[in-house]
Structure 1
Amino acid sequence: MTAKPSYIYLSKIEDVKSEARRQSSRQESLKYSQHLQDAAIKIGALSYHELRARYRKSVDSTPIAKESGDAICPDCDFTFSPEDKDDVRDHRRRHENFDHYYLSTGHRPNGYAARESMKKKGYTLIEEGSELEGWEMVIQSWFDRSVFSYIESGKYKHHPSFSKYAAMIIGNNVAGCSNCKKLVEKYGQKPGAIHEGETYWRPSK
């Protein structure tokens, strides 16, 4: 039987929290922890802690072993030692941020290897004359890398959407992308929102 993706368990956890908050506002005599328990049991879990344990187990089963002895998570793109408790904890934290980002946006950003492959294909398409499609692939690879930097810090909610990010990249003419008229027409331009020569989005101070 194929294991359920970790985000499915996290979605259930968030549903349980929402229900517990609703019940807390209606029945203040019970502690929030009791409302969590009740809400978890309603969806078929033994307890809220058991539901959290299911999520951790799903996250821990995701990484793929490497020849070096380390493991890499194909979802959150984190490489770590499964024998190191601190590494395992860091992976769980990053992976949960990754799942939260996916649940809130519906987008699963590509890891390093997939980004590089996408970028390479994008540049090839640009050279072959398919500029719009090619630039969209290149910008997508930059976007995913930028998103991952915010997943790592836990501030992913602040990162702009792809369309807004693309307008910022075009506004700074990164790698000459603003020369593609179809790209400019589709996304527009927002100069100065991304530092010149960079592809990482930075919040304005």
Structure 2
Amino acid sequence: MRDFIKFRKIHPLILVLFLLSSIICSLCLSSSSLNPTPLCLPNDKSALLQFKNTMSIDDSFSDINYYPKTNSWNESTDCCSWEGVSCDKATGQVIGLDLSCSLLVGSLHPNTTLFHLQGLKRLNLAHNNFNDSSIPFGLSQLVSLKDLNLSFSSFSGLIPSDISFLTKLTSLDLSENDQSFDSHSFEKLTRNLSELDNLFLDSVNMSDVVPTPSKTCLHL
């Protein structure tokens, strides 16, 4: 009988706790429905899929550190969930693209849809095979870019001068490609990229350039 009396005293407290937890869960569900995680922007998704369709995958290359990230990209899923893609949590805009070591083979053209990703802050295409093509003129369209890595990707020719218009860049890696700077382009780069902290140019032909001292960490 004493135990039964104790249970009757405790029972109302359990009921109150249950009701409180139910109310809290309802509020959480209501909040999440009012503020759902935004999906990838349709234009960004289209741009990524079109870029994927211009590239091939080198299936013959065997290395556990290399794998085709773009294989996870398809029309039926949200592009913010795709391998190598990062999105702004508030807007759904694509802000990061890391396709390093993705076995990509092809060429970047001036009309590549990658340049449509206006919110892109980080672009990493390192360790792919761009068939000794030139880095296309047009990178300056990526006005938000802060980090650009095109190293070890079989680019060749002159480095386009419009890279110097990416004034928000803090890190630029063009190393280990068969490329070169002319004096005018390099002078523009060092003058305009005032936010640049790291510049990697290992194996880049700098024979026409005399580097001038700056705050930039220059790796030649």
TM-score by length of 2: 0.28
Higher strand share: 2
TM-score by length of 1: 0.29
